[in-house]
Each structure stands twice: as C-alpha cells, then as structure tokens.
Amino acid sequence: MLTTIAPASIWDLRRSAKRRLPRMLFDYVEGGAEDERTISENVAAFSKIKLLPHRLRDVSKRTTDVDLLGTRIAAPLVVGPTGLNGAIWPNGDTALATAAKRAGVPFALSTASNERLEAVAKVGGELWFQLYVVHRQLAERLVDRAANAGYAALVLTVDVPVNGKRERDLRNGFRIPFRYSARTILDALTHPRWTASLLMNGTPTLANLAADNATTLQAQNALLRREMDASFDWDDLARLRDLWPRRLLVKGVCNPEDIARCFAIGADAVVISNHGGRQLDDAVSSLEILPQVRHLGPVLIDGGVRRGSDIVKAVALGAKAVLLGRSVLYGLAASGEAGASKALSILFEEIDRTLALLGCPAASRLDESFIAATALLPATAQGCSDQPPGQ
C-alpha cells in the first residue's frame, strides 16, 4: 500500500502548489517585477547571514513566543496581507485567518481580500487589517469598518503609487474576473482539482469593495489594476494616525529617513518591505536595511522567508517579527487551511530546532551575539534563484 509522504519543508509545499494551480495562478503567487532580481535577492540576503552558536547552555526547554506590540504571540511571525486568496483556495482568507489563530500568531487581511472584513473577523484571534488607499472616502469607510469589526491593528501599505511591471501577469493576461482564452482554458483543464473548485465556488470578487455606487465601482477597477492614490503623502499619514484609534503599522518603507519620519508621526511600528519583489526590481532587501534602523522603533520585515532559521536571523538582527507571504500561500494553494497550518508548523519546528542548535532557549533572547560578525558587514549583491538546489 502506497503512503503519502508529508511535506518536510516550505519547498515541498511549493512543489505541491505548482502541481495544483494553473500556471496563470502559480505565476501570480510566484512572480515579481521585471527581471525578478529583487525576489532572488530577498532570499539570498538570508543566506549571507551566518549564525554563531553558543555551546554548553541548557536548551532542554525552549520557547518560541515573543511580545509583539504589547501582545504575546506564539512565534515572531505574522501571516501577512495577500490579495485574491479566494482564487488560490475557496474562502482562502478565512482559511489563512483560521490557521493563524490556531498557531497563535496574527493574521493581516488585505483590502484586496475575497471575503468581507466583517466575515473574516468572526474567526477571531489577533487580526490586523491592511489598507490600500485607492479613494480617500472609501479608505475612511474601510478604516471605520475595521475598527467596528474589532481589528487590533491597521497596516497601511505605502509602496504602490503605481503597479509594478509584473511581466508574468502581463503575459498570462491575469486579472479578476478571469479572462478566458484557448490557452487558459487548456491550462485549467490540465489542473482539474483547481478547476472543479472554481466551478463549485465561482469566480472570486473584491468583497470589501462590493457596492453599487459609482465611487466604489471606480475604486474596484483601480484596485484590480493596482492604481492607488499616488498623491497620498505625509500629511495624509498624520490624518490617518488621528483617525485610527489602535495600533498603526506602515508597510513598504525601506529608506531610513522615511522610517524615522513614520515614528515621528506616531506609527507604532514599521514593516520594512519591498513588496516581496513585486513592485520595484533591484530594490534593497529588508534584511539589509534592518541593522541600520532597528534602534528607531519597533520594526518588522518581510520578503524572502523560506525557513525558520530565516526568522531566527531576522529577530537576532533586531526585527520584532517577520510577515509571511509566499511561504504560507504555498501551503494554502496545496491544501487550503490544512496546508497553511502545515506551513506554519514547519516554520515553528524549524525555529525551535534552530534555537536549540544555537544554544538559545527562547526566541525573545535572540540578539547579535548569535550572528557571526562578518555577516554584519556590508556585502556585495550576489545572484540567487528563488528555488532550492536542484529545482
């Protein structure tokens, strides 16, 4: 009798996701801007950081939990905001929120989610809402709705004044609602599990923007094209700070001057991010900037995380937590909520194992003493494929 081998790594989940999704959808998850060098550099940045273990320390009992902005979470990670998850798996946003709640970590819901923010809020747990400012009045309504629904934090994304040139999506004609051609139909037919799911559940929509007034219809079209309000500036951020009553994070900032200004305006935290390499190619990686700005205030990072050891490195270098994107989406694409939970459990186990091998009994005690000094020096960029050896 044949037995199914459980995925041992995020890379295993990636392979399963690639088998299940049509190329158009997999390319949407996997792809980035232009030549996709930023995606590769995000991954390569972690490989350049070398760990420095301490020996003869009692690590018989270990804890991965940390304090994040006044809340105790089970590990220094957040399921980050990603759009169109319903195209990857039915009710994908709820599936991710449920997996995050079960794991004891925050989940950030995207403005571009396929389920209403009020519906996802019913899952419970530590919920954050990510805001794209497409239309000012609509943004204010979304902020009010998120506050009324009980979201604990607002994550303002500021790195999309225009859409990055995502050439995979352009070649595939990817958009919501889907455009069908002979090529995409053939692709769908060769991925029957995904196709059957789509037929049973219907084409996903931008549920948070669904309304019958012209302003919202215009905003839906703009969000689909990722055409945000390019005039949103520092004064607008200050007004949003006054409007939102809870924790405010600014995501998509990588310039130290900008990060300092975010804190001066009153942001509770900053997420150093190049949007997973999906906006500006050759943008600096979050990990490279982290040591320069960690003293300014609470900073989180995203981009390139594929291993629990990556998370350990980020925390040792000063990050309060990392936001996950593709790593957990591979799990969602492979088998829904169960796959997302598996992705998180793999990363949890790898964090715990890395702590033991480092001689560090708690994630909260990680610092630069666990990083080789040479790894802290500026390094020249080197190319790296966003795949493990042999892929």
Of 277, 275, 351, 361, the closest CA to residue 309 belongs to: 351
At 116, list the tokens. Answer: 């209403």
Whether the bond between 53 and the residue before it is cis, its omega within 30 degrees of 0, is no
Of 305, 338, 345, the closest CA to residue 16 belongs to: 338
Unique residue bearing structure tokens 């995380």: 305
Please provide residue 77's backbone torsions phi and psi, each rounded to the nearest 5 degrees.
-145, 155
Sequence-ordered list of residues with C-beta below 8 angstroms from that of 248, at least 6 positions apart, any chain: 153, 154, 156, 240, 241, 266, 267, 268
At 122, list the tokens. Answer: 């019913």
Of 214, 219, 168, 381, the closest CA to residue 287 belongs to: 381
Please provide residue 79's backbone torsions phi and psi, each rounded to the nearest 5 degrees.
-75, 105
Contact 110, 127 (CB under 8 A): no
CA angle, residues 133, 209, 187, in degrees to nearest 5:
105
Q: Measured between alpha carbons, how far is residue 78 from residues 59, 107, 226, 271 in Å? A: 25, 6, 23, 11
Catalytic residues: 275
Sequence-ordered list of residues with C-beta below 8 angstroms from that of 278, at least 6 positions apart, any chain: 31, 32, 33, 164, 166
Sequence-ordered list of residues with C-beta below 8 angstroms from that of 180, at least 6 positions apart, any chain: none
Contact 159, 273 (CB under 8 A): yes
Of the chain, the end-to-end C-alpha distance in Å amounts to 28
Element (H, E) at 46: helix 37-48
- Beta bridge partners of residue 107, listed in sequence order: 79, 127
Unique residue bearing structure tokens 């949007």: 275
Unique residue bearing structure tokens 């080789």: 372
Q: d(Cα 64, Cα 36) in Å, to the nearest integer?
A: 33
